[in-house]
Structure 1
Amino acid sequence: MKQNVAIFIALLVFRMVNAHFVQTFFQPDEYFQALEPAWQIAFGPQSGAWITWEWKEHLRTSVHPYLFAAAYRSMDWLCHILQADDHVRANALGAAPRLIQAFCAASMDYLTWRIAGKVYGARHAATRAALAVTVCSPWQWHCSVRTFSNSLETSLTAAALYLFPWSMFLEVGDGKEADHRVSPTSLYIALAAAATAFYLRPTNIIIWASISAVIVWRSRSFRKASILAQAAAVAGSSVLAAFAAADWVYYKTWAIPPVRFLYLNLVQDLATFYGQNRIDYYFTEGLPLLLTTALPFALLGLYQSLVAGHSRKSTGQLISFTFGTATVATVLAFSAISHKEVRFIYPLLPILHILAASPLASFFNIDDHNKGRPVILVCGLAANVLIAYYVSQVHQRGVIDVMHYLRHRQESWTEAAAVGELPEAIPANISVGFLMPCHSTPWRSHFVYPEIEAWALTCEPPVNLSAEERLTYLDEADIFYADPVKWLDNNMQDRKVISDGHDTVTRSRLEQLDLGRRKWPHYLVLFEQLTPTLQPLLAETRYKECRRFFNKHWHDDHRRKGDVVVYCMRR
């Protein structure tokens, strides 16, 4: 027991350090499906949070944001008690969600190790190898501490797999780690965790449908199938009732987000608006990205699990067979969906790490005197460290750094206004415009201050449009990139407002004549790719490049290539 507690504490500290070192952008869902609604819940509708179309369509459950809203409110209260200044409070609020996610990530690591103990035995080398694989995984370092619903889904899936009473259904005792949780209570809690994962991400049902099918087939017992179905119905309906009530509080109307999710993504096929991938994507890109250096061991472990499943030698082998079958079925099912992302199969990672553990432990057996294998181990670990460093400290860092820069500029302006260093004609709050593909940066979770006036290009999908209308549909970002100069002329105030050739009085008069359009902000933020197009236009204005942040060495979207460039308007 003490060893288990010590290992969890060590994992928690490790993931807290992990959360601190991740300073890059991955995908916008990390912010707009979690932190923005959480910010609004915590600080109110006037807090400046960006609530995207998904929330207006009741596509997402509020349960996930409520978790981070509680973290925000708790941290805000603590800062108030400690009388922290605005700068410290802003940093503390930025760290609060990552602390929650670090706990979830540490739990995932810990549960992966404990599940491996059920499969291989608590003292087996493969069990220790499973813990080592999850701790050393570049994907885990990169993604587990991010506030994706997929990350929480994976932690919940691991919890459900650990709590599930395998020996109740698979009936083989083998003397390995005893499954003490064979009571119905354990079954109900496991299925409640699975139901929660499904409510967050409805596609999680594929994993549990596969596992249930294997259990029913291998047990060949109508009674056990009935027990499983009854428990699933009770746990599922309880979770549905509780979360539907939470969503009623958030949406002010009854909403079942999983149903809405399936309708919009399957019936209206809106997911394809955000991209389509080849049918082999998960085999050629998804699994390699998820597993990196553990890929060959996972593939071998997957094969061994399927082969060993034909026997009934041990409960562990049957669990492995169930895991292997669920993995194959889930990847095949996801491959049939047009819109693919590697994080969609993230919940399989604990399973894959467990399957990889046995071949890994055998290959690096300390009793094997093969001198080449330690070299392979060191090279593999070095590769993992380099990958983890690059994705957490280098790749797509600029879009995060620019948000910190802008927040600090707001702090500087506020301080200057407080001591009378700003002219009365200059507002004490900054304004920012992002001429980038939509959701290229975080938003209020990183701005923090509601006083910052900001806007960005949008990309609302073609909800409720016919197939013919979708063929010609362009979102705001598409329209902008088709002709950036024309878009600025049509949507922004007259360029004379920002011209070097007019005094303050003339500019003010011109602004009054153009009130129906967007004002030119104090800061314009764009990717380097756009500078050849806009530089000639901005050269005739009071905008000058003032900061530049390295963002990435490459990107599959040409619009996001190059540094993040900031243009500041001279006063």
Structure 2
Amino acid sequence: MKHFSAPADLPVYALDFLTEDVVVYAGGGGAGRSGVKNAIRTARVDVPSESIKELSRLELSRDEDAPMCIAVNKSLGSLVAGINSVAEKVKANQNESLRVFDFEVKESDNDKEDKDPASPSELSATVTFVKSAPSLPITNPEEYQFVLHTFPSLTPAWQTPEDAFTNGSGSAEELYSADFSFDSEQVVIASGQKIKVFSTSPAPLDTSSSSSGEKSDSSNSSVKRPLKIQTILNPALGGAGPCTFRAARFGRAPTSEKVLFTVVNAGPGKGSAKGKRKSFVSSWNAETWELVQTRHVADKPITAFDVSADGKLLAFGCSDLSVGVLDAKTLRPVLRILDAHSFPPTCIKLSPSGKTLVSGSADNTLRVIEIPSTALIGANASNNPKHGRPTPQALLSSMSTRASSKSGPSLFTLFAVLLSFRLLNAALTQTFFQPDEFWQSLEIAHRIVFGYGYQTWEWRDERASLPSGSAPWQGWLGGWWQDVVVGSPIRSIAYPAIFVPVYWLLKNLQLDNTFLLTLLPRLTQALFAAVGDFYTFRLAQRVTSIPIAYIWLLLNWTSPYSLHTATRTFSNSLEASLMSAALFCWPTSTFEGKSDVSTRHTQGSQAKGRRSQPSVNIYPSLAFMGFAFIVRPTSAIMSIYLGLDLILFNAPRAALPSLLIQTLIVGSAILSWQTLLDSWFYGRLTVTALAFLQVNVLGGSPVSLFYGAQPLHYYLTQGLPVIATALTPWVVTGWAVCLTGAGARGLSNLRESSTLALLARASLWVTLCMSALGHKEWRFLQQLGPIWILFAAVIVSQQAHERKAEPAGKVSESSRNQHTELSTSRPRSAFSQIFSELASAWQTLHSAAHKSEQSRPSSSATKLPAWSNRLLNALPPLPYLLLAQLPLTIYLLVGHGRGQMHIMRYLHEAVVERQSGNGLETHGKGTAGIKSVGFLMPCHSTPWQAWMHAPELEVRRPTGADEEREQAGWNGSGDGGRAWFLTCEPPLQGQDLRTYRDQTKVFFEDPLGYLQTRFPSLVDPNFPPSPFLPAAPGVNCTSGRQAENHPDWKHAWPSHFALFETLLDRKGVIKNGNQGTVRDFLREKGYAEVKRIWNGVGSDDENRWGDVLVLAWQGAKSK
């Protein structure tokens, strides 16, 4: 059995077969501003090659509704479509909802050639518009009545009375389906609460009232009424909740007994799981109207239903995204395709022979399924007693399609694979990248649990020490701003709080002195990285296709930047994961929710003059965006763009109140929760997001500029190449192609080109906004990394498609397995299927890189811009580039900056050994272990107590004047005490950045001078703690000269120094006037090397070159 998915370029709401292998489908974005055209398409279905080739197209008005139903009369070559007119005509009761088109299927050899679809449409113009909104066979949109017309004259035959379909309260019911019997003598109409069967011949005028059972219409006695044959009321199913009819269909072929099939969707019953809504299919004797049998077919509502032309097979689409086929005689399952679409199926149709099934969905895809021959044999046997019952082997083969069709991995299995990969990624990461990985997350969480750790300036509350008048506004707002915002901490405790349970568990299990102290936090972040991969993969699957999703996964797993940063405890890493989840949940393209896509655009809703209110659910996406905002306020840049795009260009006007209400509710909840959490942590009202804005944007001299100011083009010339690495040319090409949306629509294997265009525009918006800020870092665009890689995956797939690496009429293995969708069950060998798909993705990379002139597409055949083809063709094959990145990735994970990490564990182990009485001997001198340590490195070159975990090196601050600062959360190490480092506090009072110099800068300008003037002349063997700074660093230094002569920068000689090797070779003048090096000076003071850790081959900071060394005092050198 074969089945595959094909892009449809528009949301599909109706389809039918013109011939055995030519299908017509229709849909679009409706009357609105979604940008999705309304159209009717015809295409040839080629099951052997698993392809659908478009034959013709007819574009419809964007001001009207999308076609919601179509019916084909093959003998007359006519197609009837239900299309609601523009709103003005609907309100004026002039809805021209019935359209007739002529068609002709021309068979020719040209149809089989592989070239662009013919531009002239083979669907002719409209023949007749029928006034007063008749429908065939849909409802009268004004009165929820059914009007029967003869065809092709379209003469009204009869109309149901006003009260034919009303509920107990007298309100009109919406009609869901209508169908004619095989001999066209009866028509069955289904509403939610009842099914009625009428004769197609009108009742006599004098008996229509009594015989039909409904009240006659006294206002128009000339209207003909139908003769009612039977009414079936909504059945009550045992164990199920409230039931509604969804469809009713007659059996198609003339058989010894006439049959009617009905579909019932049931709500949750008593004691059943919340949200569990079963669906049932029943068969009725259409002569005696006795119920023959009922079968439970799914645990979600059925959204589409069809009967084969010979009446032997039933097909259904379900809101659990599956498509199924039943034997019409026994209602036994024939096959079931899990996750046939990303949204619930909206329409389904069996071919005239019953050998092919096609379903459509609002996710812009068609699913084509070849009905296995065993199913046809079984159906023939069950419908024809002469053939007897099918063999058990045939039934088993026809019913076990899930295993034989290589159904894709479950969501659980997929996430397990992604998580396993990221856990391995985290365990292999042994290097230092940037300080915020520790100082803005783990150090704070460590302090909360263990009671010690360093708080950088971002976490300190300086409101009491700042002068008044710092607010940018006057009046009460300025006073509030001065009291609450100015000098307030700028970091929210939300992200560090994630790691508090981890440290708490280690502390209570007494495992905090093991390797788990440094490993578990990173494994925790690996969980979030896997969540980001999971949602981006599913986004890629929904927007493009399964093969492209696996190409994305392969490229993401081989990305040096992703492997280097995703599992690090940066707030940017969590921001990227949360925004990936938000993008997956964001309403895109048709803005249809998964739970009710198939019933959203109900026939007649617009025609009634009150289109049903669109239900655009953005709560999940807003929640993810809100948490991302708490973690990093700059994530709001993308959120704002997505919101404006939705409101201004895509969302129906009727949905705007709902969107605004949802935004208000989630926004208020997120901001309130953040404010309460941070205010509780800091002990007073604190709004960290506003404080962040005040310090880094609104201030006269933004503090962020202290850490560097980069040019406007930085993110395009450095950020993008660093994040994308070897994929940069493919990312640039994909980004450019997807920006317009029109360019992407011509590419293969895309389901939502408009969504790709949205992602491209949003990425550009974020890049431009972030470029406007002075201080820039690569990781500030980390949230765009997964999107950029998706752009590259799209281009790689297109290259492979155009190079035709396989014979004509064939598709790649990855395309052949497009049915490998995600399901909620656990198929056998799911792990092997994932890696098989990754292998297919690797083969696609090779196909895309194929260099032969024979396989290279002509300039007229390619859908990619000419400049991109020249660029990509000039590059080495992408697989070679990815392999070339492997040494770089390994080096970044285990080599570059390794010493900066492992020095802290070495110090931890040394302190632990000293406390256990073993001592750490130093070169046989017998010197006791570590008593104090000073870091002569650029500030924050290493982690701190989150890795060193040495409470023995913490000291309590003096009482008295400093007691208030200690209670306010000041540090017991770092800028003094038994463990200290060179600080780099920013100018927090608006000092001139051109003259301001921090402690690190002062030290490295003249290391020897600093050591001689800031330390005592002799080393005290007792190694007393270094003095603490009595004032917050960076607050009182108003000029460069004051910084250079800062009286508080005094130190006691420690028992150990940690430094980079390059420092020892720095030259200067020793007090006696002789030239010397730092190495000479420290050797004279009695310090010698006791530990050397390799730190890589270089650094972007000249003060971090060489190995990381530990020097220990071994006694003064004798003179």
TM-score range for the pair, normalised by the shorter chain length:
0.7 to 0.9
Query: Within 2, Cα distance between the matches of 1:15 and 1:513?
Result: 42
Q: CA deviation at 1:31?
A: 0.6
- Indicate the SS of the match to 2:514: helix
Q: 1:52 to 1:107 in 2, by over 3 A?
A: same
The residue type paired with residue 952 of structure 2 is E
Q: For the Cα contact (< 8 Å) 1:527–1:559, is it kept in 2?
A: yes
Can you list the C-alpha shifts for 1:35-84, whole angstroms capped at 9, x where unaligned?
A: 1111111222xx2x01100001411000000001111112333x33xxx5
Q: How does 1:114-513 map to 2 (within 5 A)?
A: 114-121=538-545, 123=546, 125-166=547-588, 169=591, 186-219=617-650, 221-268=652-699, 269-309=702-742, 316-364=752-800, 368=805, 373=849, 376-416=877-917, 430-452=931-953, 453-467=978-992, 470-494=993-1017, 496-497=1018-1019
Q: 1:512 to 1:531 in 2, by over 3 A?
A: closer
Structure 2 residue 459 is matched with structure 1 residue 50: no
- Indicate the SS of the match to 1:566: strand
Structure 2 residue 1105 is matched with structure 1 residue 561: yes
- Indicate the SS of the match to 2:1097: coil
Structure 2 residue 421 is matched with structure 1 residue 17: no
Match 1:525 to one of 1058, 1074, 1078: 1058
Q: For the Cα contact (< 8 Å) 2:1008–2:1078, is it kept in 1?
A: yes
Structure number with greater CO (CA < 8 Å, separation at least 6) is 1
**After TM superposition, what 4+ stretches of structure 1 lie above 6 angstroms from structure 2?**
182-185, 310-315, 425-428, 510-516
Query: Within 1, Cα distance between the matches of 2:912 and 2:632?
Result: 38
The residue type paired with residue 1054 of structure 2 is P
Query: Within 2, Cα distance between the matches of 1:338 and 1:430?
Result: 42
Query: Within 2, Cα distance between the matches of 1:112 and 1:537?
Result: 56
Query: Within 1, Cα distance between the matches of 2:653 and 2:560?
Result: 43
Tell me which residue corresponds to 1:536: 1080
Q: For the Cα contact (< 8 Å) 2:589–2:755, is it kept in 1?
A: no
How many residue pairs get matched? 539
Q: 1:456 to 1:119 in 2, by over 3 A?
A: same
Structure 2 residue 518 is matched with structure 1 residue 94: yes
Q: CA deviation at 1:107?
A: 0.9
The residue type paired with residue 518 of structure 1 is H
Q: For the Cα contact (< 8 Å) 1:215–1:322, is it kept in 2?
A: no
Structure 2 residue 552 is matched with structure 1 residue 103: no
Query: Within 1, Cα distance between the matches of 2:742 and 2:646?
Result: 12
Query: Within 2, Cα distance between the matches of 1:183 and 1:40?
Result: 49
Q: CA deviation at 1:311?
A: 9.2
Match 1:71 to one of 502, 506, 519: 502
Query: Within 2, Cα distance between the matches of 1:253 and 1:90?
Result: 36
Q: 1:227 to 1:435 in 2, by over 3 A?
A: same
Contiguous gaps of at least 5 residues in structure 2: 1-407, 461-487, 601-612, 807-845, 851-875, 921-925, 954-977, 1029-1047, 1066-1076
- Indicate the SS of the match to 1:485: helix
Query: Within 1, Cα distance between the matches of 2:744 and 2:788?
Result: 21
Q: 1:449 to 1:3 in 2, by over 3 A?
A: same
Structure number, greater radius of gyration: 2
Query: Within 2, Cα distance between the matches of 1:297 and 1:514?
Result: 56
Query: Within 2, Cα distance between the matches of 1:491 and 1:231?
Result: 59
Q: CA deviation at 1:185?
A: 8.9
Q: For the Cα contact (< 8 Å) 2:1089–2:1111, is it kept in 1?
A: yes
Q: CA deviation at 1:387?
A: 2.0
Query: Within 2, Cα distance between the matches of 1:311 and 1:442?
Result: 45
Tell me which residue corresponds to 2:464: none
Q: CA deviation at 1:324?
A: 0.6
Q: For the Cα contact (< 8 Å) 2:593–2:615, is it kept in 1?
A: no
Q: For the Cα contact (< 8 Å) 1:117–1:127, is it kept in 2?
A: yes
Q: For the Cα contact (< 8 Å) 2:737–2:743, is it kept in 1?
A: no
Can you list the C-alpha shifts for 1:336-356, whole angstroms capped at 9, x where unaligned?
A: 111111111111112212222
- Indicate the SS of the match to 2:1100: coil
Q: CA deviation at 1:426?
A: 7.6
Q: For the Cα contact (< 8 Å) 2:571–2:632, is it kept in 1?
A: yes
Query: Within 2, Cα distance between the matches of 1:183 and 1:72?
Result: 47
The residue type paired with residue 238 of structure 1 is A
Query: Within 2, Cα distance between the matches of 1:542 and 1:376?
Result: 57
Q: For the Cα contact (< 8 Å) 2:628–2:635, is it kept in 1?
A: yes
Query: Within 2, Cα distance between the matches of 1:165 and 1:484?
Result: 58
Structure 2 residue 444 is matched with structure 1 residue 37: yes
Q: CA deviation at 1:200?
A: 1.7
Query: Within 1, Cα distance between the matches of 2:506 and 2:1006?
Result: 44
Query: Within 2, Cα distance between the matches of 1:194 and 1:119?
Result: 20
Q: CA deviation at 1:514?
A: 10
TM-score, length basis structure 1: 0.87
Query: Within 2, Cα distance between the matches of 1:311 and 1:355?
Result: 10
Q: 1:513 to 1:337 in 2, by over 3 A?
A: closer
The residue type paired with residue 788 of structure 2 is L
- Indicate the SS of the match to 1:166: coil
The residue type paired with residue 334 of structure 1 is M
- Indicate the SS of the match to 1:451: helix
Q: 1:472 to 1:281 in 2, by over 3 A?
A: same
Q: Which range is displaced more, 148-157 or 526-535?
A: 526-535
Q: CA deviation at 1:131?
A: 1.8
TM-score, length basis structure 2: 0.45
Q: CA deviation at 1:304?
A: 2.0
Q: CA deviation at 1:553?
A: 2.1
Contiguous gaps of at least 5 residues in structure 1: 420-424, 499-506
Q: For the Cα contact (< 8 Å) 1:169–1:224, is it kept in 2?
A: no
Q: For the Cα contact (< 8 Å) 1:24–1:400, is it kept in 2?
A: yes
Q: CA deviation at 1:451?
A: 1.2
The residue type paired with residue 1053 of structure 2 is W
Query: Within 1, Cα distance between the matches of 2:1091 and 2:1063?
Result: 15
Can you list the C-alpha shifts for 1:498-556, whole angstroms capped at 9, x where unaligned?
A: 6xxxxxxxx66x97999995321121111122102311211212211222222232222
The residue type paired with residue 497 of structure 1 is V
Q: For the Cα contact (< 8 Å) 2:591–2:651, is it kept in 1?
A: no
The residue type paired with residue 274 of structure 1 is Y
The residue type paired with residue 458 of structure 2 is E
Query: Within 1, Cα distance between the matches of 2:786 and 2:932?
Result: 44
Query: Within 2, Cα distance between the matches of 1:126 and 1:418?
Result: 58
Q: 1:377 to 1:18 in 2, by over 3 A?
A: same
Q: 1:68 to 1:311 in 2, by over 3 A?
A: closer
